[in-house]
Every structure is written in C-alpha cells, then in structure tokens.
Structure 1
C-alpha cells in the first residue's frame, strides 16, 4: 500500500502532460509515421517530437525503422497498449460530464 501513492502520482503526471492523451489516442489507432501524426494533431512538430521522445523513454512508445525506403514509424508498446481502457474511460467521462461551455472556457 505504501507504493500506491507514488505510482499513482507518476501515472497522473504522465497522463496530465499536455497533448499526451491525444498522442496516445492517435497511436491506439495503429502505427503512424511522424508526418501523419503531425498532420492529424493540432500541435507543433517540435512539441510532438518532445512528447514522443518522453513516451519512448517511459517505454510506452517505440520507434520502428524500415530500411528501404528509410522510414520511421511510431507504435505503442504493450505497456502503451495497456492504457487503452484508461484513455477510453477518460473519454467516456469527458463525454458525460464536460460541457461545451467548459471546453470554450479552456480554449479562450
């Protein structure tokens, strides 16, 4: 029980980093190239790169290389795939409890 709080806090810090949820959601749909994610997500390439590096360091995302043509793709590891139920439940909660007005307040 003594390790519950630090582990929970670490998980919440990871998930609460800006754009991590969107990056994870994007990769839950399958392997993606950087350019695909950059086109699909409303974040800069630099920030996307930073988030992918962080998630790779955490063992949640991996980079796959193909040799010809040279191509880098990103996908979730088993650790990352196991977050699918968490992301889904957060989305369900948001759909039920976050109002359009609250979203507007956040944007403005």
Structure 2
C-alpha cells in the first residue's frame, strides 16, 4: 500500500481498495468497491499475463461484482463494464492451445 502511495501518488484509502479488489479477484470472490472500466481492463490483462491460472477466478469475481452492484438500491447495470467482462468470459471459452483448437475444430 505504501508503494502505491509513495511511487504512484495513489491515496492510501484508494490503495487499500485496489489491494482488496486484487485479492478478491485472485480468490474469485465478490468485491464491493467500484473499479473503473480502465482499472478492470488493466487488472484482467495483468492477471492474464502474470498469473494466468487465476484469470477465470478474476473474471468470475468481476461478474459477481456487477451482479452485486446491480442489486444495490442505488446501483445500476453498468452496461459498458458488463460488455468488457463478457468479452473476458468469451475469451475464457476459446481454446488456448493448438491441440485444443484442433479438437474444437473436429467437433
């Protein structure tokens, strides 16, 4: 948290929120704080690059967050963010290697 504050100018409360959101994504759990579309895209891209085994959990966490937020009395559907997350859901269903792609082709 201190690094985000000192090196990137992120205030301490926001830094704590970002860390908690990241932890929730890695565990596939719902998070309650709002994350921008750009922030969501950044987290998912970095998780895909650096921790690909956690990508499905991170995407599921975002789906849970959107569902949670939509159910709030002051919440709303967030169609742009839902579109982004749905693109990641679709990416997860795509074959990731040549053997899987060939198997999918022959089916």
Is the structural similarity TM-score above 0.5?
A: no
Please report the TM-score for the alignment, with normalisation by the length of structure 1.
Answer: 0.29
**Structure with the bigger percentage of helix:** 2
Please report the TM-score for the alignment, with normalisation by the length of structure 2.
Answer: 0.29
